[in-house]
Structure formats: C-alpha cells, structure tokens
Amino acid sequence: MNNINKKQVLIAAAVTAIICVTAFSCYNSRKNYVQIMAVTGATPIAVKAEVKQGMSLEVSGYTERIYKFSASALNAFAPVYLRTREVSAEGKFEGTYRYSGIPVLHILEGVAPKKPENAPFDRPLDMVVTFISSEGEQSHFSFGELTMTDDSNPVILAYAREELLPSKPKESYEWNIHKGDVNGLRLVCPAEKDSARYLDNVVKIVLREIEVDNSILPVMQKGTKCSSGSVKIVDGKSAAPLNLSGVKTVTLKDWVRTGHGQGFKGISTAKGYDLADVLMKNFPGAAPGNYFLFVACDGYRTLFSGREIFTTEAGEAMMLITDVDGKKLPTGTSMGPVKDYYVDRETWGMTHIVKIDSIGDIK
C-alpha cells in the first residue's frame, strides 16, 4: 500500500470514529427518551445527555497537581439541567435555552488548592479562578462565589444545549442567536443579569492569587481572637476611613447559619448596612468589573467579584453586619454574604476593604 492510500485509510478511519461517537451519544439520549416513555407513558423534554467525546478539561495553577478530565471522567460528575434567558452586556436579548452541565462546584470541591508557603493567607477564599477557552479568551471569578453560594443558580460548564422555543410562535422565531448544540464546554452563569462572563469552548481552569499591597494588611494569625474598632477603604495607593454616613441600613430575619467546617451555628437576625450602597459610597464609580477584598484583624480574607455583588440577587442581600440577634458584634463590623450556603465568607473584625480595578488575563 502506497503512502497516499495509507493516508486515505487513516482519514477514513478518523471520520468513521467521529461518526460512531456522535451516533453513540445520540443513541444514548434517544435510548433515555424511549425508556421514560416505555415505563411512564410520558413524553419527556429533559432527558439526560452525555458528555461528547473530545471534550476535556484541565485544572491547574495553585493546586496540589494538574488535574485532567476526559469526556468519560466529566460524564461521571452529577449534572444539572437548567434554563437561561440570556442578555448581552450591552442589554441585547440573546435568547432562551436549556443546558445540561456540570456545576463548577462539583469540579472544584474535588481539587486540592495549594498556595506558596509564603502566601499571606493559607485558604483559597481570596483566590481568583480563571476559565480559559481553546481560543485563549478568559473569564474570571472569585473562588468563593463558585464554592460557597447556594445551589439555586450554579455556575456550570454546559456540555449540551437546546433552544427553548415558544409553544405557539406567531411567526418564525428569530430571537435565539445560538443555534444548535455546543461544540465544547460552555461556561454559563444563570444567576447574573447578563452574559458578560459566559465563555465558549472552555478547556482550562486556573487557580491563582490576586496582586495587592500586603504590607498594609494584617498578617494571618491563626486562632487569634481580635477585634476591630474601624475599617479602612483602600483604592490604589490611597486609604481612608470607611464612611457609612447616609448608607442604607438593612435587617435580615431567619438567617440560617451553617459553616463548612463545624456545621450549624444558629438561626439569627442580622442588622447592618447594604453592601452595594457601602461600596458605591466609598468607591465612587464602583462597577461590576471590579473586585473587592475584605480583610479581618486576624488576617482572614475573602474576595468578591463586583459582578456577584452588583448583578445577582444574592449580591442584593449582602450587607456589612453590625448586630446579630440584637447585640453589637464584639469583634467589630463583619462582611455578611447572608445568602451563601456556608458562612465561611463572613469576615469578623474587619479592618480593610480593598478595591481591585480588574483582574488581568493570564499571559
């Protein structure tokens, strides 16, 4: 057999393999549909989809090792099936869709973060999580917003998509700009008001630290009991006392507090100041593209994205807590992400709020 024939045979084999894989995936979805009909007589819409062969994911950066997930490994994760109404960052409607995908939480909770030994804080709650596409485009999140929030609108890596069409359209329906299935893993953020952080063809997740001036911030002191009588706001090289004059006050009742490490902590009433209003008052022009680092007197740190604070329902409920169950906090003001599933992003005895203009892409 000459070289040309060999090449033709290899190409034909590769094409055949792709067709077989696609057919197998379609067969599995069709099989699930038929099984539901046979057992119940129902005509289902939400049918389990399979992760397509060729899809893969790598998680690296400040981690114990490089984690690589093949399609079969990704298919083993517990999936979700959700609907989105997508609007661009410019306010243009982009359509309605159904996605099958893996919550990013399910991936990150199996990954072991590992910071440098000289890191100013030894936990991952001040870290940035960067998603990178096969084309090199990037989208950035705080570690906490992917791991500590509740499960109502999880950030997912979608591996299947269907257009969600009206049942009785008056004419040809052209509002959905995305046609057909996804070609790779699509980052979907259903809790946010726009699709600015959505990203197609994700192939990598990188965990990393932010760059801040640590010389002005408290040093981490594990197990130390401390309190803070004041809070400084830091914007670039300037620092000033926190100004709460005229800031909206808020109260939250029936706040169920559960910690990641020690479990149930109580059901409380919290009083304080609306966080978004605090930030707008102290950082004029604060926007969704900014990030905010909250630091406590013992060096504890939590990083929040402006998009979480300013564009989600959970962000609308965030507060600076001054009182719990009718008593002033003895440690001083605390950051209060009161809609989180776990309370680990609370920052008791807060001393600093640092504004970070933006997170740069990985070069």
pLDDT value of position 192: 97
For the purposes of burial, counting CB atoms within 10 Å of the CB of 227, is it exposed (0-12), middle (13-18) or buried (19 or more)?
middle
pLDDT value of position 214: 94
Backbone angles phi, psi at 204, to 5 degrees: -140, 150
Query: What DSSP designation does 24 have?
Result: H
Q: CA 156 to CA 131: how far, in whole Å?
A: 12
| pLDDT tens-digit readout, 270-290 | 999 999 999 999 999 999 999
Dihedral of the alpha carbons of 187, 188, 194, 196, in degrees to the nearest 10: 0
| pLDDT tens-digit readout, 67-94 | 999 999 999 999 999 999 999 999 999 9
What single string gives the DSSP state of each residue in 90-148? TS-EEEEEEEEEEEHHHHHTTS-B---TT-S-SSGGGEEEEEEETTS-EEEEEHHHHHT
pLDDT value of position 8: 57
pLDDT value of position 29: 53
Identify the CA nearest to 81 among candidates 191, 158, 195: 158
pLDDT value of position 47: 79
* Low-confidence spans in the chain with pLDDT less than 70: 1-44
Q: CA 74 to CA 64: how far, in whole Å?
A: 20
The class level of CATH for 215-356 reads alpha beta
Is the CB of residue 351 less than 8 Å from the CB of residue 216? no
Tell how strand 80-87 and strand 238-241 pair up: unpaired
Q: List the domain boundaries for the chain.
A: 1-48, 51-209, 215-356
pLDDT value of position 59: 98
pLDDT value of position 6: 54
Is the CB of residue 334 less than 8 Å from the CB of residue 349? yes
pLDDT value of position 246: 97
Tell how strand 127-133 and strand 93-103 pair up: unpaired
- Residue showing tokens 């980052």: 187
Under CATH, which number does the domain 51-209 receive?
3.90.420.10
pLDDT value of position 21: 44
51-209 and 215-356 have identical folds: yes
pLDDT value of position 23: 46
Is the CB of residue 120 less than 8 Å from the CB of residue 219? yes
pTM given for the model: 0.88
